[in-house]
Every structure is written in structure tokens, then in C-alpha cells.
Amino acid sequence: MSGAARWNDLAPRIISGGLMLVIGMAELWVGGWLFALGVWILGGLMTWELVRMLIPGRDGLAVQLAALSSAVLAVLWVVPVFMAFPLLASAALVGGGQVPNRKGLYMISVCAILLGCYAMVMLREYAGLQWLLWVIVVVIVSDIAGYFAGRTLGGPKFWPAISPKKTWSGTVAGWVGAAITGAFFAGPTGAGASLIALSVAISLAGQMGDIGESAVKRKVGAKDSSNLIPGHGGVLDRFDAMLGAALFAGLLWILGLLPGLT
């Protein structure tokens, strides 16, 4: 790949990424129902992309299942936490019945989408701004570090059978960026030095989210989940790592393993 071609997606990535960052940070700061609404919409869009990848040409069904995902996430805002998993599982079962040839793949994928979105809302609402901000910054810094290191250094592929563009140099650079982010948040969160290692784990969880989405795309022969975001592909392409990181952070929070969080 020539030097110019290697960076030909950088400008649209920066512009669209900057716009998403401004809108997302504003909603994150405000919190409450406004942030939750943004996450509900994202969950619906990711479901829409998933259905269109799994069963091309069924745009009407994609819209219906997207609306179902957003509606279930909205209902979870007003029901007890113990009802979350049954409702999410029910939504996955309903949708899976409409995707008979790829029922298992749909159900696993949509559960990951819905649980990740739910975790983001719950972390913001109950753990607080700084903890969700930590997760988000870890993912962003890991992605940026991995992008530039991978494009500059290249080298052996991390998992070529599933994600041929991801390199070990980019992966390790992402971990280093995550560790630095953890050190930065160690004081504000009251977590101390243990947050450095947890940040690397969060980065790895995000990378696994990215790998998981790449596996789905490879299974169905898709390059991107959609073309909604210039330079990034689709919403699922952009937020797959965030889903993985949020799922892991939510699990840590539920188990009481986030240090400094009482």
C-alpha cells in the first residue's frame, strides 16, 4: 500500500469522528434521559445494520426489528434491573424467529448490542459520569493509537482469518494507550494504580468486540455494516469496540470489581 493510499480515509474519519465526539460528549455530560435516548437510537441503528447484513433486501423487517430494539431499551429505563435480561432475551427470540437461516448469529449479535447499550446507560446513571467517561476514553485512545501504529508500523496480523487489517503493532499500541488513560483516571476515580491494568483489560474487551463484528461481516461477506458514517462505515463498525468495553465494564461494576466505586 502506497503512503498516500494508506491514509486516504483519514480526513473523513477525523471529520465524522469529531462530529460524533462533540454530540456524544454533550449527551454524556447532560446524562439522564437525553443520554439514554441517544443510546436507544444507536441500539436501533445497529440492529438495523445487523438485519440488513444477515438478510439483504428485507429493509422493512430491518426497520421493524430496529424499532423493537430501541423500544426494549426504552422500556428498560423504567423497569427494575432484574427484568433486563428476560426482556432483552425476548427481543432476541422474537427477532431470531424472523431470521430463520441465521437465527443463532442474529440472537447472539443482537444480545451483545442490547446488553452493551444497556450497560452504557446503567454505568452513566448509577456508576457516574467519570466511570463511563473512563470506558469511552480508553476505547477512543486505544482505537487512535492502534490506527496510527498499525498504519505506520504494520507487521504481523493479530487475527488474519477474521480481521485482516488488524496488526499486533496496532493491538499493543492500543494497550499502551489504554494503560496511559488508566493512569490519568486513577486519581479522579479514586481507583489508584489498579485502574491501569483494568484499562488494558477494557481495551482488550473492546478489541474483542471489534473482532466479533468482523467475524459477523466475514460470515455474511460484508465489508462494512453500512455506509452511514463517512470514513468509518456503519454505526456498528464505529461502536463495536464500545459495546465490548461497556459489556465488560458493566460486568465489573455488577460484581463490585471497579476499585474506588462504592
In single-letter form, the type of residue at position 138 comes to V
- Residue 8 pLDDT class (50, 70, 90 cuts): low
Alpha carbon distances (Å) from 33 to 120, 124, 125, 169, 171 = 13, 11, 9, 40, 35
- Please compute Rg for the chain using Cα positions: 18
Alpha carbon distances (Å) from 6 to 2, 9, 153, 231 = 6, 8, 12, 13
Strand partners, 157: 167
The predicted structure's pLDDT at residue 74: 96
| pTM metric for this prediction | 0.89
Residue 11 has pLDDT above 80, yes or no: no
Mean pLDDT across the stretch 178-197?
93
Q: Delimit the domains of the chain by residue range.
A: 3-254
Half-sphere exposure of 124 (CA within 13 A, CB side): 23
Contact between residue 199 and residue 186 where contact means Cβ atoms under 8 Å apart: no
- Residue 90 pLDDT class (50, 70, 90 cuts): very high
- Residue 39 pLDDT class (50, 70, 90 cuts): very high
Mean pLDDT across the stretch 30-51?
95
Contact between residue 38 and residue 12 where contact means Cβ atoms under 8 Å apart: no
